[in-house]
Amino acid sequence: MGEQLRLMAVHAHPDDESSKGAATMARYVAEGVDVMVVSCTGGERGDVLNPKLQHDPEVERDIVGYRRKEMAEAVRILGVQHRWLGFVDSGLPEGDPLPPLPDGCFALEPLDIAAAPLVRLVREFRPHVMTTYDEDGGYPHPDHIMCHRVSLEAFEAAGDPDRYVGHGQVPWSPLKLYYNQTFSRAKITTYHQALLDAGAESPFAEWMERWEERAERAVTTRVPVAEHLETADRALLAHATQVDPDGMWFSVPAETRRRIWPTEEFELARSLVGGPVAGPAGSPVDEADLEDDLFAGVREHLAQGGAA
């Protein structure tokens, strides 16, 4: 084809890249695709979620430095490039009423300020495909919602020479934008039943009881990743402060996942090269129309001499 394919995955915090689409990235790296992960914030306000490290003196002394070391190891495992946008974690407000977000945090930045460094990265890296979160952030964390807004802004603005002047030398228009759809009702139901069939306790029972509280998203794309699930697991385990190795994320062994759910799911949100169209949230795409490749349409476009 003459041009190396490039994929950019935009995430809110360090560890998000390893829990959402990591096996897909590992697959494309193995195929020779140039993959870049962008972390919007440093995860400074994230709690230590692994009970084994909650009172570790090294973690308590420098959580920011610790999370950067974790991220460097995950990047090494996945084989991707990585860039920090440099914004400050907003934290996850809790309470009723919710407290205000802290001054200077990512979620309170004006959109043009928050998007400018990502526009620059898009123009420098020149991705053919971008991935990020849907408008609800995957779950309503303020940084995830802001990550969606920033990613959409960069996708639409980076190719316009009249926008974000001075942020990158040459305009660049990515061809496709996807939303990660990490957990669907069908996937969680399949995991839950597999654990029950194996005589194990399922951590997903409560999720299923509360499922009516969240809208089901459309899936347009299922990427086969069976051979890369262990790589994704190792990358996630590298974020030791955030993930308990005995917790929910690893309740279904990789060998079982390879058999019962060997794909990662995405929702095509924008495309300049066609693809399945998602209807209203939750409306399914016909099985015959599902993609199995984030670069579907892109490969053909470039092979025919089309410009990105």
The pLDDT confidence band at residue 285, using thresholds 50, 70 and 90, is confident
Is residue 11 annotated as involved in ligand binding?
A: no
Is residue 233 annotated as involved in ligand binding?
A: no
Q: Give pLDDT tens digits for 235-246.
A: 999 999 999 999
Q: Give pLDDT tens digits for 126-174.
A: 999 999 999 999 888 999 999 999 999 999 999 999 999 999 989 999 9
Domain total for the chain? 1
Please give the pLDDT value at position 279: 67
The pLDDT confidence band at residue 280, using thresholds 50, 70 and 90, is low
Region 214-231 average pLDDT = 93
The pLDDT confidence band at residue 307, using thresholds 50, 70 and 90, is low
The pLDDT confidence band at residue 115, using thresholds 50, 70 and 90, is very high
Q: Distance between the two ends of the chain, CA-based, in angstroms?
A: 13
Region 238-266 average pLDDT = 95
CA distance 285 to 281: 11
The pLDDT confidence band at residue 2, using thresholds 50, 70 and 90, is low
Tell me, yes or no, whether 146 lies in a domain.
Answer: yes
Q: How far, in whole angstroms, is CA 199 from its chain's centroid? A: 32
Q: Give pLDDT tens digits for 177-210.
A: 999 999 888 999 999 999 999 999 999 988 888 8
Does the structure show a pLDDT above 70 at 225? yes
Find the domain containing 100 and state its range: 6-183+218-303
Does the structure show a pLDDT above 70 at 301? yes
Does the structure show a pLDDT above 80 at 278? no
Please give the pLDDT value at position 282: 60
120 against 206, higher pLDDT: 120
**Residues contacting 112, CB < 8 A, separation 6+:** 153, 164
* Inter-residue contact 15 to 70 (CB < 8 Å): yes
The pLDDT confidence band at residue 211, using thresholds 50, 70 and 90, is confident
The pLDDT confidence band at residue 308, using thresholds 50, 70 and 90, is low
Cis peptide before 140 (omega within 30 of 0): no
Structure tokens at 214: 């969240």
> Domain with 279 in it: what CATH number?
3.40.50.10320
How high is the mean pLDDT of the chain?
A: 93
Tell me, yes or no, whether 210 lies in a domain.
Answer: no
Tell me, yes or no, whether 205 lies in a domain.
Answer: no
Please give the pLDDT value at position 105: 97
Nearest to 267 by CA among 80, 117, 66, 130: 130
Please give the pLDDT value at position 265: 97
Q: Give pLDDT tens digits for 49-66.
A: 899 998 899 888 999 999
Is residue 289 annotated as involved in ligand binding?
A: no
Its sign, for the CA torsion 160, 161, 162, 163, is positive
* Inter-residue contact 38 to 8 (CB < 8 Å): yes
